Amino acid sequence: MCIRRQAVAVLTASLLVLMMDMTILNIALPEMAAELHPSSDQQLWIIDVYSLVLAGLLVSFAAIADRWGRKRMLMLGYTIFGGASLLVLFATNAEGVIAIRALLGVGGAMIMPITLSLIRVIFTDPRERAVALGVWAAVSGLGAAVGPLIGGVLLEHFSWHAAFLINVPLMVAGVIAGILILPESRVASPGRWDAFAALLSLVGMTLLVWAIKSFGKAATLLVPEALIAFAAGAALMAWFIVRCVRSDSPLLDLRLFRNREFSAGTVAALGSMFAMAAALLLIAQWMQLVDGASPVEAGIRLFPLAIASAVASLAAPALARLVGARAVLAGGVGVAGVGMLLIALQPGTLQTATVIVALALVGAGGGSLAIGSAMIMHGSPEEKAGNAGAIEETSYELGAVLGIAILGSISALIYRSELVASGVLAGLDGALGAQAESSLGAAVSIAGASGLPQLASEAGIAFTHALQATGIAGGIIMLAVAVLVFVLTPRGTLLTTEPADHMEW
């Protein structure tokens, strides 16, 4: 048991670092935007490209790890992630940051599914595995808490580059601990690796997301190049699915979705991240650029979300044994949806206290996704642990990509239209006006440099309205996901015994 605890400590520490990296970036983005002046599209890509690359490569790297060795793949991922973080010392523009984030996505794709598949392999007892996955999810919440605080402290004393450099010593420690503690694991007879299917999935998802972002920017579907990209991406993904279904050794075994527990957990992960990712990114910016919080203060204000998520993740397995996994997972997603609606529907001016309460509800509800992880792993046999981990992480990351692409683009459109309608840009130089339209960070920076407090005020109002519109959309989506998860999950689902469905394999 001691070895298993040490192993889960190393694996969950990996997740801690990745979650810290994502939340630190949310805190660092306003300062980065003020220095580099990225366009709204570039800001979205700085956030999106990591998840896009990660989602595109998860299935491929999980399949390679099944053959080459999961521990080896994890160590390589640590090395790439740390090395990419060090490259930020040479980044002088938005394009350079986007490239670094893409390389971080490559490293992350080697880390994320392996942590889950190794937990599935190491913890053979379903009850112990559910607890381990609860710890895994709780550490995710703690990473979300520690990230903003560490990021805030770093930004108080250093530049935004420190938000990347903090990863380097942590990844070095991960490599050393992993080599000493983790067992090697691979599938005995996995079949050949389908390189063409891997290419189909990567290119197909990239084209689809680019097209969706283009539609959002133009506020219309009548964008010829985006329509072509969307059609091509959809065709490639359909080809990928057909290829996997017909293959004797598919890159992604879609038979996993025959299990309703597995499907419900996947829907919960995808739908929740779609709704929450854009809203949480916008809230971090709202706290600093509209509400006037310092980076450290913004980190403290985000703390209730992460703590509530961590506590709920640890409590979820025991609660599921009392009231059932279906009630815990569906109910938690619904609570998170209510939290998002609270931000959107507050009468009058949006208040800090309302945002903090809403974040606590979102965190508490999001903690129930620990049960979603347990259901995904419970609904898949051990030899399919790599596929299951890849599908779960793809659901999280693809949900975040699509959520930020769609809801983030809608938010940018609302912000831009309200700012232009206010007339505050009329006296600005054309280039400065375009920058102010592209992002709140640029507008606040220009307002300070030009002595135009009204520009900052109007930009803040427009951004708040965009945030609340995103909250309405996200809240409604999460309530719908909660209903769907409740319907999909079999009544009386137990996570303490192996399901009979495994006999089919």
- Give the start-end residues of each E strand in 1-152: none
Judged by DSSP in three states, 431 sits in helix
Distance CA 452, CA 131 (A): 54
Distance CA 459, CA 298 (A): 19
The more confidently predicted of residues 255 and 381 is 255
Whether residue 459 has pLDDT greater than 90: no
Residue 300 buriedness (CB in 10 A; 0-12 / 13-18 / 19+)? middle
What band does 128 get if pLDDT is binned at 50, 70 and 90?
confident
Whether residue 428 has pLDDT greater than 80: no
Work out the average pLDDT over 166-184: 86
The more confidently predicted of residues 239 and 436 is 239
| Tens of pLDDT, residues 217-234 | 665 667 888 899 889 999
Query: Most confidently modeled of 13-17, 91-95, 154-158?
Result: 91-95
Res 505: pLDDT: 43
Whether residue 86 has pLDDT greater than 70: yes
Work out the average pLDDT over 332-360: 86
Res 239: pLDDT: 95
Q: For the chain, what are the domain ranges?
A: 2-185+251-504, 194-250
Annotate 275-315 with DSSP letters as a single string.
HHHHHHHHHHHHHHHTS---HHHHHHHHHHHHHHHHHHHHH
What band does 145 get if pLDDT is binned at 50, 70 and 90?
low
Res 497: pLDDT: 61
Res 240: pLDDT: 92
Using CA atoms, how far residue 320 sits from 262, 375, 395, 489, in Å, is 16, 11, 22, 13
Res 280: pLDDT: 76
Token representation of residue 109: 């794709």
Judged by DSSP in three states, 272 sits in helix
Distance CA 10, CA 12 (A): 6
Annotate 134-203 with DSSP letters as a single string.
HHHHHHHHHHHHHHHHHHHHHHHHS-TTHHHHTHHHHHHHHHHHHHHHPPP---SS-----HHHHHHHHH
Q: Do the beta carbons of residue 274 and residue 405 sit within 8 Å? A: no
Q: What is the mean pLDDT of the chain?
A: 81
The more confidently predicted of residues 65 and 281 is 65
| Tens of pLDDT, residues 182-199 | 888 777 777 777 889 889
Residue 19 buriedness (CB in 10 A; 0-12 / 13-18 / 19+)? buried
DSSP state of 423: T
Q: Residue 361: which of 311, 290, 429, 298 has the closest Cα?
A: 311
Distance CA 455, CA 444 (A): 7
Res 231: pLDDT: 94
Res 504: pLDDT: 43
Whether residue 488 has pLDDT greater than 80: yes
| Tens of pLDDT, residues 88-111 | 888 888 888 899 999 998 998 888
Judged by DSSP in three states, 331 sits in helix
Res 232: pLDDT: 94
Q: Is 486 left (phi over 0), alpha (psi -120 to 50) or beta?
A: alpha
Q: Do the beta carbons of residue 305 and residue 142 sit within 8 Å? A: no
Fold that domain 2-185+251-504 belongs to in CATH? Growth Hormone; Chain: A; (1.20.1250)
Q: Residue 312: which of 361, 374, 368 has the closest Cα?
A: 368
Which single residue is written with the structure tokens 């829907």? 267
Q: Do the beta carbons of residue 405 and residue 216 sit within 8 Å? A: yes
Cβ neighbours for 49, distance < 8 A, ≥ 6 positions apart: 98, 101, 102, 105
Whether residue 500 has pLDDT greater than 70: no
Token representation of residue 60: 């491929």
Res 220: pLDDT: 63
Q: Residue 58: which of 400, 330, 372 has the closest Cα?
A: 400
What band does 487 get if pLDDT is binned at 50, 70 and 90?
very high
Res 219: pLDDT: 56
